[in-house]
């Protein structure tokens, strides 16, 4: 059996729910492939994984995979994840969100999960648009671009999700694109093995909504755009700011150590029980 | 001497609560403050979240991982929790939410007493849904209903709301704890079948499916979407209808296990006061004073507010042709009393919404007016 067939048999749910909801050519499928390969390589058992999502196209992802899966309310996935992780720290908790999920309605939860250093991996599929609801502009829609709710053009500035995660205190932040699938595999594997709050931002295309209203072409053309505009983080220092203006910096942006919430809380428990430190 | 909020903490710990997530709001803060000390002592977890939405999200997550969980708030925070409350109902996740009521709407009256969240507790979250709401009029009752709240939430896989007013929350009175061995504790029923046979949302005669916790080998899907018996989203009409019906049936066919009330001198009462929370205390005094004057009056003290106790009203109207419903709101329970009254009794109201309690003389005056 080929490697991919083994992974399909091991990780996809057989009982139900295929074909999936995503449009042909969608980037989420590529990201799901990376997620499965990275989980397989990182050595976790399926029973140990809790995969949590919010609402939107990315929110439908957990239903297809054979883990403990939890499809929550819009933007709130990280709050449920916080509860699961603290109640049972032996579980590996992975959260999948979209850009609207993570930095619009769930923006507050995102920065606080990062600040607390909850031991959870957040994977954010950033396609610059609300896809499922029909192409409304999101906090990551670039200035000047079109959507179905910027009837003329977008006059807001876009959030940079990875940079926001860095500032909020995430201990691991990596960014990739669905064109660079092998990089995504390795970013996710590193994130899964990192204790503390880790973030992988996945730049993806939504040719159905964002691409259509902005005349950016097919899925293939939008992935070619990713290829042409991605700059590895190692090269950034050699480039001028103006050269970087329309570029996506990919790779590991932060990898640092900070006390992890559940370990710190264990110290509180010992102290409260009258043990260490008295 | 304990206050109501402290008794709720003791009841929660006794019931097995080991996870609390909350956000500061008066008049519920004592519950958070005390649990932040006591939960780590018993190996539990306390976390202060960034808002009330996050608090209930974390509580639901912890419960799915197998830990009995709770949050506590007041009206404004409870409004924020309505979103995830609906999730806990549709995904059938046991959890307990304390709402210490204060006057509203909005920021309203921080923090004068009120009973104006009765309907928010019933209908605050969208969609047709069952809910269990308990209240208390003494500190000991705060303890008892908190144990009950956890038991009922575990038994029926439904959120249970503890709805008390600020007077009961902050009032101190003597309380005798029950013998620990005598306190009945109910834990969720887990699946006994192997994982491959487990049907997470199976329709059972009780209406409550067995619940597997995350990480115990039963990998299944939990969603806020309407789902089939396996937990997967469905839009099939032959699956949606029975699912929503079961959610309601699991509560409605067990009313007798859920509905609690105290009957005080109602056997021969020609007039019955129907009250709850701190108003029931005033009413009890008014009943005693009216009895001294020779007026046959009784008190129906509601402990279960929702599902509304139709049988209790039916019982008191066998003798009472006048019902007086004093409430610190514009008439949220009196409307229910009118709804279930088959026309045999006159239902009178006594409403107060100025941030002060309804006193015994005020209730006595109302009794005198009609007797």
pLDDT tens sequence across A45-59: 999 999 999 999 999
- Per-residue pLDDT, B111: 86
Average pLDDT of the segment spanning A132-143: 97
Among candidates B41, B49, B69 on the partner chain, residue whose Cβ is nearest the Cβ of A273 = B41
- Per-residue pLDDT, A19: 87
Instruction: Please give the structure tokens belonging to residue B86.
Output: 């609906």
User: DSSP code of A171?
Assistant: S
Question: Does position A161 have pLDDT exceeding 90, yes or no?
Answer: yes
User: DSSP code of A140?
Assistant: T
Which of these CATH numbers, 3.40.50.720, 3.40.50.920, 3.40.1710.10, 3.50.30.30, describes B264-370? 3.40.50.920
- Per-residue pLDDT, B38: 98
Instruction: Report the C-alpha gap between B1 and B4 in whole angstroms.
Output: 10
> Do B40 and A273 make contact, defined as CB atoms within 8 angstroms?
yes
Share of chain A above pLDDT 90, in %: 94
> Do A88 and B54 make contact, defined as CB atoms within 8 angstroms?
no
User: What element of type H or E holds B274?
Assistant: strand B271-275
Among residues B172, B168, B166, B171, which one has the least CA distance to residue B75? B166
Residue A36's pLDDT band (boundaries 50, 70, 90)?
very high
> Do A79 and B47 make contact, defined as CB atoms within 8 angstroms?
no
Instruction: Report the C-alpha gap between A142 and A137 in whole angstroms.
Output: 9
Residues of chain B with pLDDT under 50: none
Question: Domains of chain A (ranges plus CATH)?
Answer: 3-272 (3.40.50.970)
Query: CB within 8 A of B335, min separation 6: which ones?
Result: none
Question: Does position A155 have pLDDT exceeding 50, yes or no?
Answer: yes
* Displacement of CA B335 from its chain's centroid (Å): 18
Question: Does position A275 have pLDDT exceeding 70, yes or no?
Answer: no
Average pLDDT of the segment spanning A161-187: 98
The reply to whether B264-370 shares the fold of B2-182 is yes
> Do B64 and A83 make contact, defined as CB atoms within 8 angstroms?
yes
Helices then strands, each counted (H, E), chain A = 10, 10
Average pLDDT of the segment spanning A222-247: 95
DSSP string, B251-280: HHTTHHHH--EEEES-TT-SEEEEE-THHH
Instruction: Report the C-alpha gap between A83 and A73 in whole angstroms.
Output: 14
Among candidates A47, A72, A81 on the partner chain, residue whose Cβ is nearest the Cβ of B219 = A47
Residue of B nearest to A111 (CA): B50
Average pLDDT of the segment spanning A119-123: 98
B225 close to A (CB below 8 A): yes
What residues does each domain of chain B span? 2-182, 264-370
Note if the pTM is more than 0.95.
yes
Residue A100's pLDDT band (boundaries 50, 70, 90)?
very high
- Per-residue pLDDT, B359: 98
Q: Give tens-digit pLDDT for A176-197.
A: 999 999 999 999 999 999 999 9
Q: Give tens-digit pLDDT for B32-45.
A: 999 999 999 999 99
Question: Does position A1 have pLDDT exceeding 80, yes or no?
Answer: no
Instruction: Report the C-alpha gap between A52 and A54 in whole angstroms.
Output: 7
- Per-residue pLDDT, A146: 97
C-beta separation of B329 from B301 below 8 A: no
> Do A91 and B87 make contact, defined as CB atoms within 8 angstroms?
no
Question: Does position A278 have pLDDT exceeding 70, yes or no?
Answer: no
Question: Does position A18 have pLDDT exceeding 90, yes or no?
Answer: no
Q: Per the CATH hierarchy, to which homologous superfamily does domain B2-182 belong?
A: Thiamin diphosphate (ThDP)-binding fold, Pyr/PP domains (3.40.50.970)
Neighbours of B344 (CB within 10 A): 10
């Amino acid at each position: 059996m080929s490697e991919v067939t083994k992974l399909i048999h091991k990780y996809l749910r057989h009982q139900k729910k295929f074909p999936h909801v995503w449009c042909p050519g969608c980037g989420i499928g590529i990201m799901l492939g990376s997620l499965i390969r990275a989980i397989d390589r990182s050595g976790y058992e399926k029973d140990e994984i809790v995969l949590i999502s919010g609402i939107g196209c990315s929110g439908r992802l957990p239903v297809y995979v054979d883990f403990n899966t939890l499809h929550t309310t819009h933007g709130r996935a990280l709050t449920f994840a916080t509860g699961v992780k603290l109640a049972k720290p032996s579980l590996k908790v992975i959260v999948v969100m979209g850009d609207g999920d993570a930095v619009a309605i769930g923006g507050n939860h995102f920065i606080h999960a990062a600040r607390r250093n909850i031991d959870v991996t957040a994977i954010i599929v950033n396609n610059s648009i609300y896809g499922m609801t029909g192409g409304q502009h999101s906090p990551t829609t670039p200035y000047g671009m079109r959507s179905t709710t910027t009837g003329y053009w977008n006059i807001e500035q876009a959030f940079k999700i990875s940079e926001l995660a860095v500032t909020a205190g995430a201990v691991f932040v990596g960014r990739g694109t669905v064109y660079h699938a092998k990089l995504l595999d390795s970013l996710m594997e590193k994130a899964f093995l990192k204790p503390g709050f880790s973030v992988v931002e996945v730049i993806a295309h939504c040719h159905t909504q964002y691409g259509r209203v902005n005349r950016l072409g097919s899925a293939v053309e939008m992935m070619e755009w990713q290829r042409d505009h991605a700059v590895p983080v190692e090269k950034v220092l050699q480039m001028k700011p103006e050269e970087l203006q329309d570029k996506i910096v990919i790779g590991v942006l932060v990898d640092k150590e900070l006390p992890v919430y559940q370990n710190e809380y264990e110290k509180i428990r010992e102290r409260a029980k009258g043990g260490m430190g008295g | 001497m304990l206050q109501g909020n402290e008794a709720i903490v003791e009841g929660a710990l006794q019931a097995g609560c080991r996870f609390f997530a909350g956000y500061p709001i008066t008049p519920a803060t004592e519950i958070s403050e005390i649990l932040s000390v006591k939960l780590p002592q018993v190996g539990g977890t306390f976390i202060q979240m960034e808002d009330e939405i996050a608090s209930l999200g974390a509580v639901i997550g912890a419960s799915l991982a197998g830990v009995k969980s709770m949050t506590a708030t007041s009206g404004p925070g409870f409004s924020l929790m309505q979103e995830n409350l609906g999730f806990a109902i549709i995904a059938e996740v046991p959890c307990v939410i304390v709402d210490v009521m204060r006057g509203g709407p909005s920021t309203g009256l921080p923090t004068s007493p009120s009973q104006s969240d009765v309907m928010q507790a019933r209908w605050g979250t969208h969609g047709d849904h069952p809910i269990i709401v308990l209240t208390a009029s003494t500190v000991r009752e705060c303890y008892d209903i908190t144990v009950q709240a956890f038991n009922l939430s575990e038994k029926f896989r439904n959120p249970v709301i503890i709805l008390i007013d600020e007077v009961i929350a902050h009032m101190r009175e003597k309380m005798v704890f029950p013998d620990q061995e005598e306190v009945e504790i109910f834990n969720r029923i887990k699946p006994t079948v192997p994982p491959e046979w487990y049907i997470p949302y199976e329709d059972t005669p009780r209406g409550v499916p067995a619940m597997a916790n995350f990480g115990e080998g039963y990998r299944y899907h939990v969603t806020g979407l309407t789902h089939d018996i396996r937990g997967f989203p469905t839009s099939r009409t032959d699956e949606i209808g029975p699912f929503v019906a079961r959610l309601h049936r699991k509560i409605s066919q067990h009313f007798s296990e859920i509905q609690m009330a105290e009957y005080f001198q109602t056997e021969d009462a020609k007039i019955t006061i129907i009250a709850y929370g701190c108003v029931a205390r005033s009413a009890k005094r008014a009943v005693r004073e009216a009895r001294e004057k020779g007026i046959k009056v009784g008190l129906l003290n509601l402990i279960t507010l929702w599902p509304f106790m139709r049988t209790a009203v039916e019982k008191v109207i066998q003798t009472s042709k006048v019902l007086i419903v004093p409430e610190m709101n514009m008439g949220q329970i009196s409307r229910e009393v009118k709804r279930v009254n088959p026309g045999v009794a006159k239902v009178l109201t006594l409403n107060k919404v100025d941030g002060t309690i309804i006193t015994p003389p005020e209730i006595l005056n109302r009794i005198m007016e009609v007797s």
